[in-house]
Amino acid sequence: MDIKDIQNLIKFVSKAEVSEVKYKTKDFEITIKTPLAGSEVNYAQPAVYHTAPQQTAAPAPAPVAPTSTEKAEPASDDSKYVTIKSPMIGTFYRKPSPDKDVFVNVGDEVSNGKIVCVIEAMKLFNQIESEISGKIVKILVDDATPVEYDQPLFLVDPS
């Protein structure tokens, strides 16, 4: 089960208004807990607990699949780009609010200190600023998806 499958499962569970779901296979186990259905909590982020795979051979195919779908050329070109990474765990948003425009698009110029996204952590929206000047060449995360600490968010061409 890759990260996209887990994210889709989390979205499904939160929309289904159930309090807990456990999913277990031979190599993987995940438990998703949400606030009780019908409670007054809005936009609750479900807690995700998972155990490490029991076999060490199972994780190896997972990284291979995403790289096979990408072209080999851009992977070698990515070395000249600088990555803007997530400084925290939370939910990534490209817009300050649902009715506003996105902070940045591919091709936009950013400067040091320009806000590129927000990350919601524990009901607080943290503005993430660019640490470099350059041009956004790739957005690596979908809007309204969970991100981990130090996860790449954007690729920037500093030239």
Q: Is the pTM of this model over 0.85?
A: no
Phi-psi region of 54 (alpha: psi -120 to 50; beta: other; left: phi over 0): alpha
Q: What is the pLDDT of residues 96-105, one digit of tens each?
A: 988 999 999 9
Mean of the per-residue pLDDT values of the chain: 77
What CATH architecture is 82-157?
A: Beta Barrel (2.40)
**In the chain, domain spans:** 3-33, 82-157
Query: CA-CA distance, 17 to 39, in Å (whole number)?
Result: 9
Q: How far apart are CA 40 and CA 88, in angstroms?
A: 27
pLDDT (tens digit per residue) in 53-65: 555 444 444 444 4
**Gap between the Cα atoms of 130 and 117, Å rounded:** 9
What does the alpha-carbon distance between residue 108 and residue 105 come to, in Å, rounded to a whole number?
A: 6
